[in-house]
Structures are given as C-alpha cells and as structure tokens.
Amino acid sequence: MEVNYQDIKVIGFDADDTLWINETYFREAEAEFCKLLSQYETPNKIDQELFRMEIDNLPLYGYGVKAFTLSMVESALELSNYNISTKTIEAILNIGKDMLNKPVELLDGVEDVLKTLSKKYKLILATKGDLLDQERKLEKSGLTDYFHHIEVLSDKKEANYSNLLNHLDINPSEFLMIGNSLKSDVLPLVNIKANAIHVPFHTTWVHEEVTEEEKNGKTYKTISSLSDLLKIFNTI
C-alpha cells in the first residue's frame, strides 16, 4: 500500500542511530564489559545478565549511558558474587565516561536532508534518553538550528507521542515521524493515526526489536537511508 504524504506539515526525527551513531558504542562497551568480567562467567551469560539488569532498571533509571553504566556496575557485583575489585568498578565507570565523551558522528546525508526539508516543513526532534547527554550530542552535532522544537522523552509510547502532539497543537494526520526503531519511532505513531518512516540502522538493541505479529497490518514506509527522504518529498 502506497503512503501519501501530501498532508504532512510537521516532520519529527529520532536522534540516536537516525541522525548520528549511537548503538555501535553500546555494543563496543558490552564487549569491554565482558572482558572485565571474563573470570566470572562466559560472554553469553554476561550479556544475558546485563540485559536483564537493564530491563529491570528501566523504571528507575530510564534510558541512556548513565543508566547503562549503573546496570553494568550492578551486574558486575552480582556476577562476581560481590567479589569484584574496586579497580574493576573504576574500569566500568570509565567505560561509561568514555561513551559520554564519544564524538558525534552524523550518518550519511543527515545535514543535507534537514537543510532541505526545513525550508518547507517544521522539523522537530523527538528522542529519548538522558537529558544532559542528549543536549550534549545535539550541541556537538551542529544541527540545533534546523529544529522548530526539541523534546527529550522519558519513553516513546503512544501516550508520550499523543501528549507531545497535543502540546504542540499538531494533528496526527499532519505529522510524520522518522526513526530507526520500529518499536519506538514507527509503530506507536501508526497506532495514534500519525505517519512514520522506518530507516533501519545496522544494529538494534534487543529491547527495541518487534515481532512479525506486532508489525502485521501496520502501514508505514521503510527506506534504506535518510537521503531517500529527498526523493520522496521532491515529488510533493
């Protein structure tokens, strides 16, 4: 089914892994964490326990590097039966600090797309995670001026998006969300009668994966890169 974007007035963009690289750094950090804990468990078991800890902590810590770092510390304590050295704890904290200090590497075509679309549409940034970290990345990205509004959400569920659109007085049928996560950036929008375009990233956090059943019957477009947006909107 072909999707019509003639009525779109506002376009929302996710940030992490849509505008710039993010999840890659988490995979690298997990690999470092496994090395630090290698005397206690297998890499597979360490990954499983860290993921379990992250999910358990989501209601308390939310998303982002700081939450991830706290979960690494807690996992290390449990996996080592509380025998982990202070030196290793320090090394874990340094993994988190290194992640927070990573350069912001824009994905291909991002600035050209934002510059072009901002001439005709209102653009908003709708991301989730740690407020301070997301503000830091946005500032480093040099993209701030392209956005009419910037929102760092605690989560990306139907209610979060509905509240955002109501606050900004945006009709769902006139809104298009673009992002790499089906779970966070696409399906919630489709469910509230808005529009969404999926731009897959090469790696996805397990928590963001969805089943075929969840995707079944949902109307949205998938493109291979953000630059494909210009092909879509140049015809409107």
Whether the per-residue pLDDT at 236 is higher than 80: the answer is no
Domain with CATH 1.10.150.240 in the chain: 23-100
Contact 40, 80 (CB under 8 A): yes
Please state the rounded mean pLDDT for residues 61-83.
Answer: 96
Contact 121, 11 (CB under 8 A): yes
Q: Among 40-49, 122-131, 227-236, where is mean pLDDT lowest?
A: 227-236
Instruction: Quote the pLDDT of residue 218.
Output: 78
Say how far apart CA 170 and CA 187 lie, in whole Å: 18
Nearest Cα residue to 201 out of 23, 52, 14: 23
Tokens describing residue 188: 């919630």
Beta bridge partners of 12: 124, 177
Whether the per-residue pLDDT at 27 is higher than 70: the answer is yes
Instruction: Quote the pLDDT of residue 208.
Output: 65
Instruction: Quote the pLDDT of residue 219.
Output: 83
pLDDT (tens digit, 9 = 90+) per residue, 140-180?
999 999 999 999 998 899 999 999 999 999 999 999 999 99
3-state secondary structure the chain: CCCCCCCCCEEEECCECCCECCHHHHHHHHHHHHHHCCCCCCHHHHHHHHHHHHHHHHHHHCCCHHHHHHHHHHHHHHHCCCCCCHHHHHHHHHHHHHHHCCCCCECCCHHHHHHHHCCCCEEEEEEECCHHHHHHHHHHHCCHHHCCEEEEECCCCHHHHHHHHHHCCCCHHHEEEEECCHHHHHHHHHHCCCEEEECCCCCCCHHHCCCHHHHCCCCCEECCCCCHHHHHHCCC
Please state the rounded mean pLDDT for residues 6-27.
Answer: 94
Domain with CATH 3.40.50.1000 in the chain: 10-20+104-233
Tell me the Cα Rg of the chain.
Answer: 19
Say how far apart CA 80 and CA 76 lie, in whole Å: 6
Say what percent of the chain tops pLDDT 90: 81
Say what percent of the chain tops pLDDT 70: 92
Please state the rounded mean pLDDT for residues 43-58.
Answer: 95
Instruction: Quote the pLDDT of residue 215.
Output: 65
Instruction: Quote the pLDDT of residue 192.
Output: 95
CATH number of 10-20+104-233: 3.40.50.1000
Instruction: Quote the pLDDT of residue 234.
Output: 80
Whether the per-residue pLDDT at 19 is higher than 70: the answer is yes
Mean pLDDT (the chain) is 92
Dihedral of alpha carbons 3, 114, 186, 31, sign: positive
**What predicted TM-score, i.e. pTM, was given to this entire model?**
0.89
Q: What CATH class is the domain 23-100?
A: mainly alpha
Instruction: Quote the pLDDT of residue 202.
Output: 72
pLDDT (tens digit, 9 = 90+) per residue, 191-235?
999 999 999 987 665 656 666 666 667 788 999 999 999 998 885
Nearest Cα residue to 12 out of 167, 130, 132, 133: 167
Nearest Cα residue to 17 out of 26, 5, 6: 26
Model confidence at 3, in pLDDT bands (50, 70, 90)? confident
Say how far apart CA 232 and CA 227 lie, in whole Å: 9
